[in-house]
Amino acid sequence: MSYVNFTIATDADGIALVTWDMPGKSMNVFTEEVMNELEKIVDQVASDDAIKGAVITSGKESFSGGADLTMLQRMLKLFKDEKAKDADAAIRMLFDGAGRMSWLFRKLETSGKPWVSAINGTCMGGAFELSLACHARVAADSDKVKMGLPEVKVGLFPGAGGTQRVPRLTDGQSALQMLTSGQSLSPKKAKQMGLITEIAAPEALVETAKGLIKDGLKAVAPWDVKGFKLPGGPVYSAAGANLWPPAIAILRRETYGNYPAASAILKCVYEGLLVPFDTAIRIEQRYFTEIMQTTEAAMMIRSLFISLQELNKGARRPVGVKETKFKKIGVLGAGFMGAGIAYVTAKAGIPVVLLDRDMPSAEKGKAHSESLVDAAMKKGRSTAEEKEKLLSLITPTVDYSDLDGCDLVIEAVFEDSEVKKGATEQTEAVIAKDAIFASNTSTIPITGLAKNSKRPKNFIGIHFFSPVDRMMLVEIILGKKTGDEALAVAIDYVRAIKKTPIVVNDTRGFYVNRCVLRYMAEAFQMLIEGVPPAMIENTAKMAGMPVGPLALTDETAIDLAQKIMKQTIRDLGEKAVDAEQFKLINTMVDTHGRHGRKNGKGFYDYPAKPAKKHLWPELKDLYPQQDPDRIDVEELKQRFLVTIALEAARVMEEGIVTDPREADVGSILAFGFAPYTGGALSYIEGMGVKEFVALAKKLQKKYGAQYKAPKLLVEMAEKGQTFYGRFDPYKDQKKAA
């Protein structure tokens, strides 16, 4: 029997090697066709007396990324359509669909023939659940091998037996930590946890897997053997009493109840461990069906899986422009940002020239890369050979002529128009006419800077976030005269350094900073109102933000906030900045000398380690304090999310961002906008545009004009529109089809 996605070869010992190798795809994923073929293979192996057992492996570099989540999206669309006709039938259809993979894996597990998974590379999600259903698992001893169940990161949970097999193979605490965090495991860690059976040299992977079958591997899972005992002990035991109450409390502390899938994992594991395995699988199926219907799952799947993948693949790249293979890149300015840019460029294997005004400064910039690699080596994430290779790619210099031959030059000099003008002119004097020049400015409009260039069509903004090595988003800013060639090169570069590009039209603050400044401004307003500082920080985190707005202001520097306010007043007039907020910032900087983390004094105090930072005690004395018991916590949470979402909507209305995918993904990756919402625009859509506008009007009446909904939102509410409908990112594809 032949298959599209698999091949089967049975050796002289009667062991079938099942190789998963989907045609035309760089990675294997579960689709309806794959599951149908796998079921036929399980039947074939089980019914053929000549086959003693089977090894399943991949014909690609990776094993599999798991389920194709677009398949789940289609299932949810069918559910929505069916629900409009017959709600009960729709639920049954969704329940059956949710269990398709679970029962297929259970069929393999109880087929009567031993199965071994030979994991040769990345093995995530449903693929790892398939491996857990096999009677043994062998992983290649390689840094390329990562295993895990990351579904919680996109609003789901391991719904194909993962919540039941993991806690039956390892202790409860390790199981819950792995499942609720979505962490990936190395072969060594997975072996320590008891999730895999053996680690083998890559070249001996399949033979090692076959050897387990030859040595008499039993075709029965441990939990199907009479007398099976849980590795961590029963739920109702002293061990269980020490595990479950703290686990529930820790999850609440970490998620504030914002992630239904994480809560469902705890319920699945707890209830599942009290019953026989088949009943446990059905419990998991029931919870998975519920989670698939949540707004959080729909929005997170769309933004953090589908949209993120599309943007990473260059969804906004101009069609018809040849892809750039970078031979050499220049970085102007070896300060913290420039040094970070040089590091990520060299890490991608691209030679980089790092230029500064003097050699000690340029050398110091290169030393930043050395310190980052040294830190990675201490954690076992890099080697001496990799360090030597990376550093050899960075050439510090003071000579602009060394930029000759660069495909792209990124300017990251001091944030001053005149300094940038000089850097642009000196660079253009030596680089090729078709080379691209990019500015990493975060405050100065690109169109204005491009006036310093003799070739503005080759001038573009590439705005990194700090620290460059850790932040995954890059804003690409188009000036009025920026051409398609420059845009294509910028996107190619961002993809080459394995970051996510979003394309933004030119404006003050671009997209991300406009939203971040709104977040901070709302905190300043709350301080002025007398909301206790600790309450401000805690409610922001309760709303889903990773860092409180006062802590974030300290990180970016309070005196920088002051400079931005002063510049805004110079450019746009005094009414462009809230007078009371400006007074607060001036008091912090000028009266109290509190500039933020950089001078150890901001909204927080930063004592010497090991003491932890804490809110400045005198902060509460700046304004009369409200009684915290009289403050509506839910309203505070809404204020933070709504003010950011409104700014994102204004940016769409102004045409600064034109693709809702970029607004959503950008808001999450750049400053951590409550990921469970799917992003700033998805937060509006998840609530419903009409409901959101009503909430904004309520907040506007109570707190001021910053909550006034833009005309775009009011119009969308009246017409029943959504952002992904009105600004359909797939409209060109639909026309072509």
What pLDDT does residue 81 have?
A: 83
pLDDT > 80? residue 69: no
Q: Mind listing the pLDDT tens digit for each residue in 579-626?
A: 999 999 999 999 999 999 989 999 999 998 888 999 999 999 999 999
The residue among 490, 508, 526 that closes a domain is: 508
- For residue 298, tell me if it sits in a domain: no
What pLDDT does residue 82 have?
A: 84
- For residue 732, tell me if it sits in a domain: no
Confidence grade of residue 735 (pLDDT, cut at 50, 70, 90): low
Q: What is the mean pLDDT of residues 686-695?
A: 97
Which range (9-23, 131-145, 435-449) has the least confidence? 435-449
Are 14 and 54 contacting, i.e. CB atoms less than 8 angstroms apart?
no
Instruction: Name the maximum alpha-carbon separation found in the chain.
Output: 86
Residues 517 and 503 in one domain: no
What pLDDT does residue 106 have?
A: 98
- For residue 304, tell me if it sits in a domain: no
Residues 475 and 523 in one domain: no
Chain centroid offset of residue 726 CA: 25
Query: In angstroms, rounded to a whole number, what is the distance separating the alpha carbons of residues 223 and 209?
Result: 21
DSSP 64: B
- For residue 521, tell me if it sits in a domain: yes
Output the six-digit token pair for 165. Answer: 């097999």
Residues 461 and 520 in one domain: no
Q: What is the mean pLDDT of residues 336-353?
A: 96
Residues 172 and 198 in one domain: yes
How many Cα atoms within 13 Å fall on the side-chain side of residue 628?
A: 8
The residue among 508, 529, 551 that closes a domain is: 508
Are 553 and 519 contacting, i.e. CB atoms less than 8 angstroms apart?
no
What pLDDT does residue 478 have?
A: 95
pLDDT > 70? residue 533: yes
Q: Which of 135, 139, 140 is nearest to 215 (CA)?
A: 135
List beta partners, residue 330. 353, 409
Residues 87 and 232 in one domain: yes
Q: How far is CA 679 from CA 111, 421, 475, 660, 688, in A?
A: 44, 36, 16, 9, 14
Could you write out the DSSP letters of every residue in 360-408? HHHHHHHHHHHHHHHHHHHTTS--HHHHHHHHHTEEEES-GGGGTT-SE
Q: Look at residue 2 and give its three-state secondary structure.
A: coil
What pLDDT does residue 165 have?
A: 98
Query: In angstroms, rounded to a whole number, what is the distance separating the alpha carbons of residues 671 and 545?
Result: 8
Q: What is the mean pLDDT of residues 163-179?
A: 96
Based on the structure, what is the number of domains in the chain?
A: 3
Output the six-digit token pair for 328. Answer: 């050499």
pLDDT > 90? residue 445: no
pLDDT > 70? residue 734: no
How many other CB atoms sit within 10 Å of the CB of residue 7?
12
**Parallel, antiparallel, or unpaired for β 184-185 and 147-148?**
antiparallel
Q: What is the mean pLDDT of residues 198-224?
A: 97
Residues 373 and 257 in one domain: no
Residues 252 and 366 in one domain: no
The CA-to-CA distance between both ends of the chain, in Å, stands at 35
Q: Mind listing the pLDDT tens digit for each residue in 186-206?
A: 999 999 999 999 999 999 999
Are 643 and 707 contacting, i.e. CB atoms less than 8 angstroms apart?
yes
Q: Does 463 participate in catalysis according to the annotation?
A: yes
Q: Residue 342 is part of a domain; what is its CATH number?
A: 3.40.50.720
Residues 479 and 540 in one domain: no
Looking at the chain, the whole-number percentage of residues with pLDDT higher than 90 is 87
- For residue 733, tell me if it sits in a domain: no
Residues 557 and 459 in one domain: no
Q: Mind listing the pLDDT tens digit for each residue in 389-417?
A: 999 999 999 999 999 999 999 999 987 78
Confidence grade of residue 736 (pLDDT, cut at 50, 70, 90): low
Dihedral sign computed on CA atoms, order 328, 333, 339, 341:
negative
Q: Which helix (H) or strand (E) holds 136?
A: strand 136-140
Q: Mind listing the pLDDT tens digit for each residue in 484-523?
A: 999 999 999 999 999 999 999 987 778 998 999 999 999 9
Q: What is the mean pLDDT of residues 49-68?
A: 95
Residues 434 and 548 in one domain: no
Looking at the chain, the whole-number percentage of residues with pLDDT higher than 70 is 99
Residues 468 and 525 in one domain: no
Q: Residue 183 is part of a domain; what is its CATH number?
A: 3.90.226.10
Residues 499 and 387 in one domain: yes
Are 400 and 384 contacting, i.e. CB atoms less than 8 angstroms apart?
no
**Parallel, antiparallel, or unpaired for β 604-605 and 614-615?**
antiparallel
What pLDDT does residue 571 have?
A: 81
- For residue 303, tell me if it sits in a domain: no
DSSP 103: H
What pLDDT does residue 404 have?
A: 95
Q: Which of 520, 363, 504 is nearest to 447 (CA)?
A: 504
Residues 463, 592, 595, 614: which is the catalytic one? 463
- For residue 403, tell me if it sits in a domain: yes
What pLDDT does residue 568 have?
A: 86
pLDDT > 60? residue 737: no
What's the mean per-residue pLDDT of the chain?
94
pLDDT > 80? residue 732: no
Query: In angstroms, rounded to a whole number, what is the distance separating the alpha carbons of residues 298 and 76?
Result: 8
- For residue 709, tell me if it sits in a domain: yes
Query: In angstroms, rounded to a whole number, what is the distance separating the alpha carbons of residues 613 and 485?
Result: 47
Domain span at 266: 6-293
Phi-psi group of 268: left, alpha or beta (phi > 0 → left; psi -120 to 50 → alpha; rest → beta):
alpha
What pLDDT does residue 510 have?
A: 83
Query: In angstroms, rounded to a whole number, what is the distance separating the alpha carbons of residues 452 and 466?
Result: 26
Q: Residue 658 is part of a domain; what is its CATH number?
A: 1.10.1040.50
What pLDDT does residue 414 have?
A: 85
What pLDDT does residue 84 have?
A: 83
Q: At what angle do helices 660-671 and 633-653 cross, to 10 degrees?
A: 130
